[in-house]
Structure 1
Amino acid sequence: MNVPRESIARAFAGAADYDGNARIQRDIAQTLAARIAALALPRRPRVLEIGCGTGFLTQALAGLGGDWLVTDLSPEMLERCRARLGEDAHRRFAVLDGEYGDPGGGPFDLICSSLAVQWFDDAPRALARMGGWLAPGGHLMVTTLGPGSFAQWREAHAAEGLAAGTPRFAPVAAFGDFAVTAENRIERHDDPLAFLRALKAIGAHAADAGHRPLSPGQLRRTLARFAQSGCEVTYEVVTCHLHRAR
């Protein structure tokens, strides 16, 4: 991945209608929450969440209890999460760059994140670093995106001899020290412009560094190619789990 930090923060700051468009993101967070709920955790776990967004995963794990440190790179997203969950003596909110920052307050019994670490420069290395924040017996469990994501959009570009600005996601094999599973989820859009509007609405339109925007003609042809695919988009959802020994 090589999307400038300022581009990511700016895109998510402007994602005012995230909740209304992030259908698949909500589903993925709920699936991750179910897997986390099945882990053997202490009665009152110490929890760190990376990249909370508007709080899909935070809310889905509200019944877990414990003491939470909820973080996000975007102050605007963090405030939306706080508004969703409300104030609680056992829940703190902090702006944090999960890849390069230091949350303090550890160690943690659970570190979790839903569809945030794909924005990191080096997700496997960052997750290995986070593993050092775990308490003995602790769990790190996150979802991210694999390189199969947005395949139809990239193929539409390639058919026109163009390269998409889609970020370069880490391959599954790169997460070598983790227990990893991958599954494809399909999202369908009414038309190509609906897909682009949805990406912008959830702040996921930040392009890879060095990508040159398409000309109007190139964009029209690419959208036409994408329409031929049925306006389907694949999300390759990668779940990474690390359990620290006691």
Structure 2
Amino acid sequence: MKDLTFSPTQSKVQQSFRRGLASYHETASQQADIAERLCTLLRPIAPPTLLKVFEFGMGTGHLTLPLTRSFNIAALTVNDLVPECAAYAPESSHFVPGPIEAVELPSSLDLICSASTVQWIDDLPGTIARLTDALTEGGLLALSGFGTAQFHELRALGSTAAAPSYVDAEGWRAILPSNMTVKHLSQARKVNWFPTALALLKHLRGTGVNGAASQSWSASDLKRFEKDYWQRFGTPRGLPLTYDPVWIIAQKSQ
């Protein structure tokens, strides 16, 4: 097992998701839809019975639930950076806490999967290579991440809370090891609308997706942020916040 000491970014992300854990499952509707689509895409590619499955970044189970409904899984190991997520793990599963970059992986896995987590990984190529080494021949890697348009409105307004690894769909071909064959690759932007900047910020806090943020908000900060957001991006529909999900399914060469 690697050193489980958390990096400063991992510590911030863990604190943010722990704070939003109670509200995450209901608030994170985009993440729920993204996870459901990943499972839908996986069904015609993966066999109906899987002997060994590993899911990292399980959160409150947005992917875990459709996954266990869709496949017969003999042995399921689930992981999350936040230890409290163990409460959401299926009773028959084994929960492993800690950063995916460092936790010990099961061997000879038929499927490694994760929804809306890979964007938080600093060394994405290195971690993906490590994950694929744990796959059996013919094993599948099924992931969703986010492209470079993710939260572009916030970045335009000076936010430093972006995750470190936003990758567009085609960029994944360079990240995947040479022994992985792409079975599915797609990207589709989605927009959430908010009546006020405060409602938008509450959404971010409730889902924990501003995990790398370090800013404290005063009343004047909020007023300035609201004014700038409306001037740059405001519409009759409200304030937009762009999600840019990417889905990747790849198979290890047999």
| TM-score after normalising by structure 1 | 0.85
Q: CA deviation at 1:181?
A: 2.3
Question: Contact 1:124–1:174 (CA<8 Å) still a contact in 2?
Answer: no
Q: CA deviation at 1:205?
A: 2.0
Which is worse superposed, 132-141 or 175-184?
175-184
**Alignment size in residue pairs:** 231
Specify the code of the residue in structure 2 equivalent to 1:226. Y
Question: Contact 2:145–2:166 (CA<8 Å) still a contact in 1?
Answer: no
Question: Contact 2:150–2:166 (CA<8 Å) still a contact in 1?
Answer: no
Question: Which residue of 61, 65, 73 maps to 2:81?
Answer: 73
Question: Which residue of 188, 193, 200 maps to 1:188?
Answer: 193
| SS of structure 1 residue aligned to 2:50 | coil
Which is worse superposed, 125-134 or 46-55?
125-134
1:11 alignment partner in structure 2: 16
Q: Deviations over 1:8-61 (max 9, x none)?
A: 111111112111211111111100011111213362331000100000100011
2:125 alignment partner in structure 1: 124
2:55 alignment partner in structure 1: 49
| SS of structure 2 residue aligned to 1:6 | helix
1:97 alignment partner in structure 2: 99
Q: Any unmatched runs of 5+ in structure 2?
A: 1-6, 177-181
Q: Give matches, 1:208-223, under 5 Å.
A: 213=216, 216-223=219-226
Which is worse superposed, 112-121 or 181-190?
181-190
**Cα–Cα, structure 1 residues 177 and 243, in superposed 2: closer, same or farther, change >3 Å?**
farther
**Cα–Cα, structure 1 residues 39 and 96, in superposed 2: closer, same or farther, change >3 Å?**
farther
Q: CA deviation at 1:77?
A: 2.0
Question: Contact 2:149–2:242 (CA<8 Å) still a contact in 1?
Answer: yes
Question: Contact 2:58–2:80 (CA<8 Å) still a contact in 1?
Answer: yes
Q: Give matches, 1:1-246, under 5 Å.
A: 4-15=9-20, 16-41=22-47, 43-63=49-69, 64-66=71-73, 67-79=75-87, 81-82=88-89, 85=90, 87-88=91-92, 91-103=93-105, 105-155=106-156, 157=157, 162-172=158-168, 173-175=170-172, 176-178=174-176, 179=182, 180-207=185-212, 213=216, 216-227=219-230, 228-229=234-235, 230-246=238-254
What is the aligned-residue RMSD (CA, Å)? 2.2
Question: Contact 1:41–1:138 (CA<8 Å) still a contact in 2?
Answer: no
Q: Deviations over 1:48-101 (max 9, x none)?
A: 00100000100011131212101111111232x22xx4x12xx21221321222
**Cα–Cα, structure 1 residues 223 and 122, in superposed 2: closer, same or farther, change >3 Å?**
farther
Give distance in 2, aligned partners of 1:188 and 1:129: 38
Which is worse superposed, 165-174 or 64-73?
165-174
Q: Deviations over 1:116-168 (max 9, x none)?
A: 1111112233112211111000000100112210112222x1xxxx4443234
Give distance in 2, aligned partners of 1:10 and 1:95: 14
**Cα–Cα, structure 1 residues 174 and 126, in superposed 2: closer, same or farther, change >3 Å?**
farther
Q: Any unmatched runs of 5+ in structure 1?
A: none
**Cα–Cα, structure 1 residues 101 and 94, in superposed 2: closer, same or farther, change >3 Å?**
closer
Give distance in 1, aligned partners of 2:224 and 2:139: 50
Question: Contact 1:181–1:238 (CA<8 Å) still a contact in 2?
Answer: yes
Specify the code of the residue in structure 1 equivalent to 2:229. F
| TM-score after normalising by structure 2 | 0.82
| SS of structure 2 residue aligned to 1:56 | coil
Question: Contact 2:52–2:111 (CA<8 Å) still a contact in 1?
Answer: yes
